[in-house]
Amino acid sequence: MAREILRSWVVLDFIRAEGEATFPKPLPPLEPDPGDTKFFEVSQHLGIPLITGNLKHFPANPAIISPAEILKKL
C-alpha cells in the first residue's frame, strides 16, 4: 500500500512539474456519454489527436484514434 501511495505522488509531482493548464472552448455535449466531452474539448483546443479505446462515443473525426492506431504511427 505504501508503494502505491508513493507511486501516486510521483505521478502527481510529474504532472504538476510538466503539465500545462489549458482552457478549451466549451463544445456541445457528446452523446451517448456527455462526460467524454471534456476530453474532446481539450484535444480540439490543442490540435492533438484524442486517443481512446471507445471510438463509438466520439463523432467521426480523423483526430480521434485508437491506442492500436497510435502505436502503428510511433
Strands (DSSP E) found in 1-68: 50-51, 64-65
pLDDT 10s digit of each residue in the chain, 74 long? 667 766 778 888 998 999 988 999 999 988 778 888 898 899 999 998 889 888 877 767 777 888 998 899 88
Nearest alpha-carbon partner for 64 in 72, 55, 56? 55
Instruction: Give residue 6's pLDDT.
Output: 66
Entry pTM: 0.67
CA distance 64 to 16: 26
DSSP label at residue 53: S
Query: 41: closest CA among 55, 56, 22?
Result: 22
pLDDT of residue 45: 93
**pLDDT of res. 55:** 82
Extents of the domains making up the chain: 23-74
